[in-house]
């Protein structure tokens, strides 16, 4: 007869596993695609548990969980914060993408037709949603998700489970990522904004030449058509810009808790 399964053998490993689980869970909350509210909660929980089991098998014997309950709760919060910071750093690049869509939408007059974005659980412009879906596909094609998991694994080597100090938050690294996000938004939106500006200036000259022309009724279709045409023409360049920006952002994320 086979021996009965004894769960008490695994109880000493539970505190260490919970620390790893907290760091992975913090990452999944913010990380693009995996943290999307469009993905069922059960699937996200399953993903967190599977990743935690895999990572605990790698780092489980390299640390000891605090025995005191108070210290354990603090360590648990620190692990969750580490995961949140890594996921937030990766999500900032997509905030820049949505900002680019918002800037263009406001200039061409379609910002009133905002839609609910389940990925961010809030309102999003149509172009922002389009840019986000496009760059999310590029993110997966360029193995961005694998790089993030690699950064998570490396973080265990830089900061052991339970050893994170809240006084050492990587504020400078997150500020740099936020600046990269704004720079990406400007680079995304610049061609369309310049084209819309030139179209507006041209329409102003036309309005001075033909005062009878209703410039408002003519201006919106011209601006929307101009911006759409420029975005179609510059789509390849936009993808190259995102690829370069994504590589720099992921490198910055990997250095948040690294050397």
Q: What is the DSSP string of 64-124?
A: ---SSHHHHHHHHHHHHHHHHHHHHHHHHHHHHHHHHHHHHHHHHT-TTS-EEETTTTEEE
The residue range of the domain holding 77 is: 10-254
Which pLDDT score, from 0 to 100, does residue 1 have?
40
3 falls within a domain: no
Which residues lie below 8 Å from residue 18, measured CB to CB, with a gap of 6+? 65, 76
Kindly state whether residue 1 falls inside one of the protein's structural domains: no
Residue 5: inside a domain, yes or no? no
Measuring CA to CA, which residue among 194, 184, 176 is closest to residue 231?
A: 194
- Give the burial string for 103-133 (b: 16+ CB within 10 Å, else e): bbbebbbbbeebeebebbeeebbebbbebbe
* Residue 228 buriedness (CB in 10 A; 0-12 / 13-18 / 19+): middle
Whether residue 132 lies inside any domain: the answer is yes
Phi, psi of 124 (to 5 degrees): -145, 145
| Surface-to-core class of residue 9, CB atoms within 10 Å of its CB (0-12 exposed, 13-18 middle, 19+ buried) | exposed
* pLDDT (0 to 100) of residue 123: 62
pLDDT of the residue at 11: 66
Q: What is the mean pLDDT of each run of 10 residues along the chain (259 residues)?
A: 56 79 86 74 86 82 73 86 86 85 79 57 71 85 84 82 77 86 88 87 79 71 84 84 84 75
Give the count of alpha carbons within 13 A of 215, CB side only: 13
Identify which of 170, 168, 220, 174 has the alpha carbon closest to the alpha carbon of residue 199.
220
Number of compact structural domains in the chain? 1
pTM for the model stands at 0.78
Give the whole-angstrom CA distance, residue 50 versus residue 34. 13
Within-domain flag for 259: no
Q: Which helix (H) or strand (E) holds 152?
A: helix 144-158
**Is residue 38 domain-resident?**
yes
Q: Is residue 4 part of a domain?
A: no
In a domain, 191, yes or no: yes
Contact 80, 19 (CB under 8 A): no
**Structure token digits, residue 124:** 């999003």
Q: CA-to-CA distance for 107 and 39, rounded, in angstroms? A: 32
Query: In the prediction, which pLDDT does 223 show?
Result: 81
């Amino acid at each position: 007869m086979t021996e009965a399964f004894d769960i008490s053998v695994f109880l000493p490993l539970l505190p260490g596993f919970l620390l790893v689980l907290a760091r992975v869970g913090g990452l999944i909350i913010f990380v693009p695609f995996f943290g999307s509210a469009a993905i069922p909660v059960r699937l996200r929980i399953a993903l967190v548990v599977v990743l935690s089991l895999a990572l605990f098998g790698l780092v489980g014997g390299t640390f000891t969980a605090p025995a005191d309950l108070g210290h354990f709760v603090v360590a648990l919060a620190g692990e969750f914060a580490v995961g949140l910071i890594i996921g937030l750093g990766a999500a900032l690049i997509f905030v820049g993408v949505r900002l680019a869509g918002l800037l263009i939408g406001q200039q061409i007059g379609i910002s009133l037709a905002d839609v609910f974005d389940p990925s961010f659980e809030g309102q999003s412009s149509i172009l922002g949603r389009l840019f986000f879906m496009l760059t999310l596909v590029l993110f997966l094609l360029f193995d961005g998700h694998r790089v993030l998991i690699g950064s998570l694994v490396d973080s265990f080597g830089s900061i052991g489970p339970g050893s994170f100090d809240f006084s050492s938050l990587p504020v400078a690294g997150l500020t740099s990522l936020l600046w990269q996000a704004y720079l990406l938004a400007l680079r995304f939106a610049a061609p369309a904004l310049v084209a819309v500006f030139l179209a507006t200036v041209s329409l102003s000259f036309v309005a001075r030449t033909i005062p009878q022309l209703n410039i408002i009724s003519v201006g919106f279709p011209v601006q929307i058509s101009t911006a759409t045409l420029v975005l179609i023409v510059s789509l390849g360049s936009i993808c190259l810009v995102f690829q370069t920006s994504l590589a720099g952002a992921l490198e910055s994320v990997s250095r948040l808790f690294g050397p």
